[in-house]
Amino acid sequence: LHLEYLLAPNLATEKEDGQDVVWGLTQPQKSLSPRYFYDDRGSQLFEQICKLPEYYPTRTEAWILQNYATQIAQMTGICELVELGSGSSSKTRLLLDAYRGLGYPLRYVPIDVSAGILKASAKQLLADYPTLQVYGLVSTYELALQKLMPTPLPSRTICFLGSTLGNFNQAQCDRFFAQVTAALQPGDYFLLGIDLQKPKDILEAAYNDSQGVTAEFNRNMLRHLNWRFGGNFDPNLFEHRAFYNASEAQIEMHLSVKRSHSVHLKALDLTVQFREGETLLTEISRKFDREQMQKYLAKQGLKLRQTWSDPNNWFGLMLAQV
Ligand code: AVI
């Protein structure tokens, strides 16, 4: 079995994690990093979200891959596929199928902060693709990008699907691109999925599903923090809120406080007061414009080779090269 795990986060990250929680919970607008959504339960809930009728991004991106993965594989040629935030790796299968169809060797490096889902999906991939080599990294993107080994294949393609880029603010996005381009050699590729701007009602429905899975996903972050930092959040005291902020072109997810109370996080030595009606921002999900993204990629030293989209132009898949 070609399967290796690098177990992270290490101590340094744990400490840093805590600091961002302390910072976020002591600002006038309280906020937490969306990466705290993804404990094992959160990753499962996210998989459920991806199948919801209202949540169009996953289905739309999969449609694009079903139709164009072979073109992508032909453009990149033989390469190692690195996937940031691999989750269940289900969309990656469409890429692997295309590379396999062209008779290319398959080498896949999934990176995810959630060990459970990464291990399970890597094992299943090994069973389904007998010639596949998998090197899974349980890690944050930042650490993993620093730890990538030189690839034995002619080139590398870093995939960042699902519009997870939209969960970064501009400063985080700039930092992320610096890390990605540092992990790429001239001639290597970056495959980026972005959710595009569209009418508000479609966007808001996608983040307010009728089954309440997104609400549960949002509140699960508090359970994750309880576990990780010895906290006593009561998720029942928080209500899910998601709306489109048109001036920022982003969906915002908040947890709205039902009644005033305080929360203690033992491992962080932190007590936080929550006022009735105030909100805790748990996620932004930016919606992009194709032309602006093309300009931005160019500024990062990446040449756009092609953009694929669906018939509604709801989602974009961009292949850029260093
Ligand atoms: C992972 N990320 C791109 C999702 C999004 O749409 O921003 C996370 C999500 N939040 C609520 N639903 C899905």
Q: What is the pTM of this model?
A: 0.91
Q: 59-75 pLDDT, tens per residue? A: 999 999 999 999 999 99
3-state secondary structure 87-128: CCCCCHHHHHHHHHHCCCCCEEEEEECCHHHHHHHHHHHHHH
Ligand 1: atom nearest CA of 164 is 3
In short, whether 207's Cβ falls inside 6 Å of ligand 1 is yes
In short, whether 220's Cβ falls inside 6 Å of ligand 1 is no
Whether 1 shows a pLDDT value over 80: the answer reads no
- pLDDT category, 317, cuts 50, 70, 90? very high
Q: Determine which of 43-57, 112-126, 253-267, 286-300 has the lowest per-residue pLDDT on average.
A: 112-126
pLDDT given at position 112: 87
Q: How far apart are CA 47 and CA 50, in angstroms?
A: 5
pLDDT given at position 8: 40
In short, whether 61's Cβ falls inside 6 Å of ligand 1 is no
Fill in the DSSP letter of residue 54.
S
Structure tokens at 218: 């949002």
Whether 108 shows a pLDDT value over 90: the answer reads yes
In short, whether 250's Cβ falls inside 6 Å of ligand 1 is no
Provide mean pLDDT across the span 146-152: 90
Q: At what angle do helices 40-50 and 213-229 cross, to 10 degrees?
A: 170
Q: 175-230 pLDDT, tens per residue? A: 999 999 999 999 999 999 999 999 999 999 999 999 999 999 999 999 999 999 99
Ligand 1: atom nearest CA of 251 is 7
CA of 285 to the centre of ligand 1 (A): 7
Please give the ipTM for the structure prediction: 0.99
Ligand 1: atom nearest CA of 163 is 3
Q: How far apart are CA 138 and CA 282, in angstroms?
A: 23
CA of 164 to the centre of ligand 1 (A): 7
CA atoms within 13 A on the CB side of 91: 29
CB atoms within 10 A of CB 300: 16
- pLDDT category, 16, cuts 50, 70, 90? low
In short, whether 43's Cβ falls inside 6 Å of ligand 1 is no
Which residues partner with 288 through β-bridges?
Answer: 196
Q: Determine which of 90-104, 112-126, 157-171, 281-295 has the lowest per-residue pLDDT on average.
A: 112-126
Q: How far apart are CA 228 and CA 40, in angstroms?
A: 12
Whether 138 shows a pLDDT value over 90: the answer reads no
- pLDDT category, 6, cuts 50, 70, 90? very low
